[in-house]
Chain A
Amino acid sequence: MPALIPASPEVLEIDHISKRYGDVVAVHELSLDVSAGELFGFVGRNGAGKTTTMRIVLGVLAADAGEVRFGGTPLTFDSRRQIGYMPEERGLYPKMRVAEQLSYLGELHGMTDAAARASARHWLQRFDLQGRGDDELQSLSHGNQQRVQLAAALVFSPTVMVLDEPFAGLDPLAVDVMSAVLREQADAGIPVIFSSHELELVERVCDRVGIIDRGKMVASGTVDELRAGGRERRWVDVPGAPDGWDVGVPGVRLVQVDGSRRLFEFDPGVDDQALLQTALATGPVREFEPVEPSLGELFRAVIGEAGA
């Protein structure tokens, strides 16, 4: 569990929140923090507690314990209103005109009528929907409705963004637009947190990642930090060496054999040079290559450990 950094003005802090539904523990003492300008990816299996966590941040669900703070102060109803939210279950008024709907939501979040209209126009243009403002939402294609949904989370210029599976059901082009917009928002100094099943996308887009399993945060950090948190693995190829050349090197375990190539895993803190010297002593070393696991592999490893 990472220690919470001291309160700073633009940090969203989720501090040991818990929520149970009857006998089912949905979230247990979960903590995480997202800094200003940071894009935080939230990954986990179905039912791991991602949606519950986000709903608690938004205040549509009350936590049994714990606290959510922004800028060091606990979130109130008014500060929550400045969070741009995209729920997992998408929804807008099907029979309301698109532009009207966006400016309505802007006004509900405290904008003036004129500012809300201008912002609605801006976001429709940004999503290439400028000609559709007077159409009813239900007349738009599924993909375009998704864009309007994102625009609904952006229209009032949120100070924090929380998005539950924003990429679900999007075509590749829409994914690009969505990730570009989220990056923009983060770059503008907003903490952005979103959940996703698409680990490659999370790895590519996010600054930091949190892995949640059975209501607990089991790992969080940059993808590199997560890799560092795992055990170092290296492929070693010593073609002329006899079998068992590596026996006796402390803190090293043979994981896999592929012809003359061998995959080793090092215990934490073990110096890989000891193995290299042993290898060099037996013959010419053709390969001494570290393995960079993908987020997917890290995810499986972490979840596997947690489940064991």
Chain B
Amino acid sequence: MTARSWSLGGTRRVPTTFLVARREVRMRLRSRVFVGGTIVMAALVVVGIVAASLLAGKTTPVRVGFSGGSQALERSFTASAAALGANVTVSDIADVTAGRAQVTAGTLDVLVTGSSTAPTAVVKVAIPSNVDSALYLASEAARLSDAGLPPAAVTSAMALVPVQILQPSKPKENQNLFAGLAVGILLWIALGIYGSQVAQGVVEEKATRIMEILLATIQPSRLLAGKVIGIGLVGLLQLTIVGAAALVAVQVTNVASIPALGVAGILGDLFWFMLGFLFYATAYAAVASLVSRQEEVQSAIAPISILQIAGYLLVYAALPNPSGPLATVCSLLPPFAPILMAVRMAASDVPFWQVGLAVALTVASIVGLTWLAGRIYANAAMRLGTRVRFMDAFRG
């Protein structure tokens, strides 16, 4: 056995950053935390979408049965109901007693008895107001007709007042708000999980002392870059799986198309995760490199965690008015942009320049943070034992 019997592999050199990233990906994909976490997150999103589609589809028609003379009202009632936006089905009820029993049993919502000019409505608890109005219009028309008014005059007499809406309400506004909230929560959770994985990974290498062996063969900046990239890719993969699950769930449940749950919307969210992760991961790595024990990680990363929590709370402040000044300004600031801008984009239409500005500011701050984190990390990585002071690590 000579010392050089194992070839170093000639000229084929894999970049060390890639090797570090590959190790992170392999180790983490294998862990139960990743598999379990992905399943839970995907399941929650799918359940949420299915539940939303069930709630949204709950415009089941009001079943109205007519018996006796009132059956003459069926046609004009159906027309009036349609004009009033009430969703109804109409049926003939031969026997009033049987009809009452159906109302009691809940298989019929409204039973109309009596004559066409003086009908009576039988309901279990209450009658929907637009059904009530449609019934009134139908019986009023019957009375006018009965009084000898020609059909054309009846129609014109019963005409509804035209309403001109200046600011039409968006029927999907609530859905968009929910989508925005879901995006905010998911991004916040993912950024928290993967950011703290970076922090813990950095401290793990110091705590287990493997740092000294690693730094004898790889530059600190490359070790840090490999770790951040590797963990970031794992996070991106997890969110992509969750996003794909959401897309499939949307297709299957056929829930009314929400822009935030389309391919473009989900790609946008993944993009914001990437930016947010790069921002927070580098910051987490820098502060985590100051300590040497796992127990100290939480207190070391606290200042950045607080910033992240603030971003999360701002989601609730911004959602009611996604285009208001608070939401607009905060969604441009780098610490909050990755969550807030994604939420605003899911919940409303955001002017293009605002998105561009938020991206530009975030990218610029990532560049600055990377420089700072690289410096802190390189200076603090080999200082084992007591906590390194930030300014000491900065000065080197």
Question: Could you tell me which A residues sit within 8 Å of B by CB distance?
Answer: 55, 58-61, 77, 80-81, 83, 85, 87, 89-96, 104-105, 107-115, 118-119, 122, 152, 156-159, 184-185, 188-190
Contact = CB atoms under 8 A, between A and B. Distances in A.
B294 to A, nearest CB: 12
A96 B210 CA distance: 12
Contacts of A152: 213
The 9 closest A-B pairs by CB, nearest first: A91-B209, A112-B9, A188-B3, A91-B210, A89-B209, A87-B212, A119-B6, A58-B216, A91-B208
14 contacts: A60-B212, A81-B216, A89-B212, A91-B210, A92-B210, A93-B204, A104-B19, A104-B23, A109-B8, A110-B13, A119-B6, A157-B4, A184-B3, A189-B2
Given A92-B208, A108-B16, A118 B6 contact: yes
A171 B295 CA distance: 32
Contacts of A159: 3
Contact of A108 (B2, B10, B217): B217
Contact of B9 (A55, A93, A111): A111
Contacts of B3: 157-159, 184-185, 188-190
B27 A87 contact: no
B14 A109 contact: no
Contacts of B216: 58-60, 80-81, 83, 85
Contacts of A58: 216
A228 B1 CA distance: 36
B7 interface: yes
A9 to B, nearest CB: 14
B382 interface: yes
B214 interface: yes
Contacts of A105: 213, 217
A184 B1 CA distance: 8
Given A85-B216, A92-B210, A110-B9, 16 more contacts: A58-B216, A81-B217, A87-B209, A89-B212, A91-B211, A91-B213, A92-B213, A107-B19, A108-B19, A108-B218, A110-B8, A112-B12, A119-B6, A157-B8, A184-B1, A188-B2
Interface string B198-241: 00000010001111111111110000000000000000000000
B5 interface: yes
A61 B216 CA distance: 10
Chain A contact residues, majority secondary structure = loop
Nearest to B4: A157
Interface of B: 1-10, 12-14, 16, 19-20, 23, 27, 204, 208-219, 382, 384
Nearest to B10: A112
B8 A85 contact: no
A84 to B, nearest CB: 9
Contacts of B8: 109-111, 115, 156-157
B382 A60 contact: yes
A265 to B, nearest CB: 44
B4 A93 contact: no
A90 B209 contact: yes
A77 B210 CA distance: 18
B19 to A, nearest CB: 5
A115 B7 contact: yes
B217 A93 contact: no
A116 B58 CA distance: 62
Nearest to A77: B219
A93 B206 CA distance: 10
Nearest to B2: A188
Given A104-B19, A107-B19, A108-B19, A115 B9 contact: yes
A252 B218 CA distance: 58
A118 to B, nearest CB: 7
Contact of A94 (B6, B19, B208, B211): B208
A122 B209 contact: no
A59, A81, A93, A159: most-surrounded residue (chain B CB, <10 A) = A93
B254 to A, nearest CB: 45
Contacts of A185: 3
Contacts of B14: 107, 113
Nearest to B215: A60
Contacts of B10: 112
Contacts of B16: 108
